[in-house]
């Protein structure tokens, strides 16, 4: 089952791809690598999931925010590449979690995005290298921001 069929099978509807909110491109393709810029947890109504995970938001709400980021990344990939079927491998994901100084479950939060990618492309192609860290603030007060690198069919 290819990625587009998998989305349909899982009944996952992608949001509209988010527009760039500054002077950058959402995706740059260089050869067989696609670099996606930091994406935020923008919901279907255009609002952003905001707050510090572990203070304003629970771990579960943070995981949900990271999954929403993943959906936005998929929407950007589909728009820019024409089809998610061009994705060969998730290479690297960097997840940043807006959290208080005592919060230590950053990897569990970013799992919300990583698990989505694994659902679509499986254990081998959907899981890549990854880093997760806590930060004191993110744009617009967002709970999570994720950027990454994906190998694609040229």
Please determine, for residue 138, whether its predicted confidence score (pLDDT) is greater than 90: yes
Q: What pTM was computed for the model? A: 0.96
118 in a structural domain: yes
Q: How many domains does the chain have?
A: 1
Domain enclosing residue 48, as ranges? 3-15+34-148
The first and second tokens of residue 62, run together, are 């943070």
pLDDT in tens, 47-89: 999 999 999 999 999 999 999 999 999 999 999 999 999 999 9
The radius of gyration computed from the CA coordinates of the chain, to the nearest angstrom, equals: 15
Q: What mean pLDDT do residues 95-99 have?
A: 98
CA distance 49 to 89: 28
The first and second tokens of residue 88, run together, are 């060969």
CATH number at residue 67: 3.30.1330.40
CA distance 37 to 6: 24
The first and second tokens of residue 47, run together, are 């609002």
Please say whether the beta carbons of 144 and 62 come within 8 A.
Answer: yes
């Amino acid at each position: 089952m290819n990625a587009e069929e998998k989305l349909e099978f899982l009944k996952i509807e992608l949001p509209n791809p988010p527009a760039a909110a500054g002077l950058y491109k959402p995706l740059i393709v260089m050869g067989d690598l696609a670099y996606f810029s930091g994406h935020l947890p923008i919901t279907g109504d255009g609002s952003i999931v905001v707050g510090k995970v572990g203070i304003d938001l629970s771990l579960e709400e943070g995981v949900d925010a990271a999954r929403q980021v993943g959906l936005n990344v998929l929407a950007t990939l589909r728009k820019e590449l024409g089809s998610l079927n061009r994705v060969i491998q998730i290479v690297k994901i960097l997840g940043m979690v807006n959290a208080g100084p005592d919060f230590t479950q950053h990897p569990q939060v970013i799992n919300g995005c990583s698990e989505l990618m694994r659902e679509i492309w499986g254990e081998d192609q959907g899981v890549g290298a990854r880093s997760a860290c806590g930060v004191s603030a993110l744009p617009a007060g967002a709970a999570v921001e994720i950027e990454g690198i994906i190998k694609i069919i040229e």
